[in-house]
Structure 1
Amino acid sequence: MDRRLEGKVAIVTGAATGIGEAIAHKFAKEGAKVIVNSLPDDPIQDVVDAIKKYGGEAVPYAGDVSQEFHAQNCVQTAITAYGQLDILINNAGVFLATAETQDYPVDVFDDTVRMNIRSAFLMTKYALPYLQKSRGNIVSAGSEAGFNGIAQNTPYGGTKGWIHSFMKGVAVEQAKYCIRANCVCPGAIDTAWTRKEKGPMDSKMEKMLIQGTPMARRGTPEEVANVYAFIASSEASYVTGALWLVDGGVTVAKGAVGSDTPMWFRSEPQGELRLEHEQEGLDNKDTQTIK
């Protein structure tokens, strides 16, 4: 049985932990050669080594792709290593603080805009000439928060709304070059970002996330990666300018409907990918919970 990304070369930014780690593993499993990008103090080499251990191909690129130099060099790493670029996954981003808007730190706002927006713009800008040659595609990390907004981190939802509009514009603009552009929009996924022990969310926010989700649980990084793999593949050849919600139904819910969901349906699926860094996305990063 052919793997759906066989022969493709993909860059995955923010690929050392959480959803990004799952995307990198999933793409390698589907036959892609993967450029694993993340910040230098993230476990990039661990992910590359694991992909190789299980028969995949990957090379690391450590660097903050919200900086122009690193965005250019990340793209060039793919070309140097494999001679082509077929898929860009703009997954890099941060969720650094929870606070009401009047208390939200300006420096954290600036970091959120830079890491979530500027990184996606720069990577798209420098990847496009090569994606035009390969007739490739871009999938960016949107969010349920980009549809609905998010209290206690309003700038985060704002950056994701920007990503949604940016990808729609790219989809229309680049169709003449046979490029597709889409977003995957997760809800509460079981990573450091949604765990009170690991990040800036407090216990009340964590509880509300689950209660407001009809499926009454977090999603897993692998469940999100599965959607990325489909959209990036030729199976989604007629899909462009689309926002794919992977949120357990929270966007269409009206109230804390998760309390009615049977307990047996609330368990996260085990999955198949061998992930080791799902909860490490905020390690070595300053986070704040302001009440």
Structure 2
Amino acid sequence: MKRRLEGKVAIVTGGGTGIGEAISKRFAQEGAAVVVVGLDTDPVREVVDEIQAHGGRAIGFLGDISWQEAAEECVKLAIHDFGKLDILINNAGVFPATSTIDKYPIEAFEYMIKHNVYSNFMMTRAAIPYLQKTRGNIVSAGSEAGHMGIPQNSPYGGTKGFVHAFQRGVAVEQAKFGVRSNIVGPGPIDTAWTHKETGPMTAKMEKQTVQGVPMGRRGTPEEVANVYLFLASDEASYVTGATYFVDGGVTLSKGPHGDEVPSKLRQEPTNGLDLQHERDGHTKVKSEYKATMS
């Protein structure tokens, strides 16, 4: 049986940790040649080695893709090493702070604009000419926060709201060239971002995050990667401009429905990916990658 991405070439930004690691490995399993993209502090080399150890094809790119030059260099690397580009996964993003808006750190806001907004724009801009040649597609990381109001997350939700609106525009603009663009909107996923020990959430926020999910648990990176896989594959050939929420129903929910779920149904499924970096993630402002907007 032919694998779903056999012969395809994909760039996965933020591909070394969390959901990005799962996407990179899932795509490689399905036959894609993957360019794993991350900052030089990310475990990109490890993920590439892990993919290759399982018989997959992958190379790494280290750089700050919120800069035009780095984004263009990343795309050129894919073309140089693999000959074409079929899929752009705009997964890179940061979640450095939570706070009410009157106390939200301006530094953190600028940091998110740089890494959540600029990176999506720059990579899309650089990739489009090559995606037109292959009638390829883009799948970008949106969020439940870009769709609904979440206290102490307003600035983050704003950056994701941009991604939602921007990529819908790209979908309409590029349809005449055969290029599709879609959004995956994760809800609370079991990564560094949703644990108080590794991200900016307080204990109360972490508890409420799970309570508000009708399915009563966090999702797994693999469950999100499976939706990316569908949208990136030819099976989704008539899907463009869509937002697929992978959120356990949280965008439909009001109240602590998760508390009503029996404990046996709260267990996360065990999937086949060997993830080593799902609890790594970009949850702090890193001085070497600060915004320079002022």
Spell out structure 1 runs of 4+ moving beyond 3 A: 282-287
Inter-partner Cα distance in structure 2 for 1:43 and 1:237: 33
Shift of 1:68: 1.0
**1:166-189, CA deviations, whole angstroms, 9 ceiling, x for partnerless residues?**
111000000000000000000000
Inter-partner Cα distance in structure 1 for 2:19 and 2:90: 11
Task: Report what 1:219 is aligned to.
Answer: 219
Deviates more, 1:57-66 or 1:251-260: 251-260
**1:108-150, CA deviations, whole angstroms, 9 ceiling, x for partnerless residues?**
1001011001000000001000000000000000001111032
Inter-partner Cα distance in structure 2 for 1:282 and 1:134: 32
Contact 2:9–2:34 (CA<8 Å) still a contact in 1? yes
Shift of 1:262: 1.2
2:78 paired with 1:99? no
Contact 2:15–2:44 (CA<8 Å) still a contact in 1? yes
**1:156-210, CA deviations, whole angstroms, 9 ceiling, x for partnerless residues?**
0011111111111000000000000000000000000000010111100000000
Inter-partner Cα distance in structure 2 for 1:248 and 1:256: 13
Task: Report what 1:252 is aligned to.
Answer: 252
Task: Report what 1:159 is aligned to.
Answer: 159
User: Alignment partner of 2:93: what SS?
Assistant: coil
**1:230-252, CA deviations, whole angstroms, 9 ceiling, x for partnerless residues?**
00000011100000000000011
TM-score by length of 1: 0.97
Inter-partner Cα distance in structure 2 for 1:65 and 1:141: 15
2:282 paired with 1:264? no
Inter-partner Cα distance in structure 1 for 2:114 and 2:64: 10
User: Alignment partner of 1:140: what SS?
Assistant: strand
The 5-angstrom pairing of residues 155-194 of structure 1 reads 155-194=155-194
Task: Report what 2:292 is aligned to.
Answer: none
Inter-partner Cα distance in structure 2 for 1:99 and 1:42: 26
CA 1:47–1:198 in structure 2 vs 1: closer, same or farther (change >3 Å)?
Answer: same
The amino acid that maps onto 1:135 is: R
Gaps in structure 1 of 5+ consecutive residues: none
Shift of 1:284: 7.4
Contact 1:149–1:158 (CA<8 Å) still a contact in 2? no
Aligned-residue sequence identity (percent) comes to: 60
Gaps in structure 2 of 5+ consecutive residues: 288-294
Task: Report what 2:70 is aligned to.
Answer: 70
Task: Report what 1:40 is aligned to.
Answer: 40
Task: Report what 1:243 is aligned to.
Answer: 243
Task: Report what 1:210 is aligned to.
Answer: 210
**1:39-87, CA deviations, whole angstroms, 9 ceiling, x for partnerless residues?**
0011000000000000100000000100111101010110010110000
Cα RMSD of the aligned pairs, angstroms, is 1.1
CA 1:283–1:46 in structure 2 vs 1: closer, same or farther (change >3 Å)?
Answer: farther
Contact 2:85–2:130 (CA<8 Å) still a contact in 1? yes
Shift of 1:285: 5.0
2:27 paired with 1:27? yes
Task: Report what 1:138 is aligned to.
Answer: 138
Inter-partner Cα distance in structure 2 for 1:191 and 1:270: 15
Contact 2:108–2:285 (CA<8 Å) still a contact in 1? no
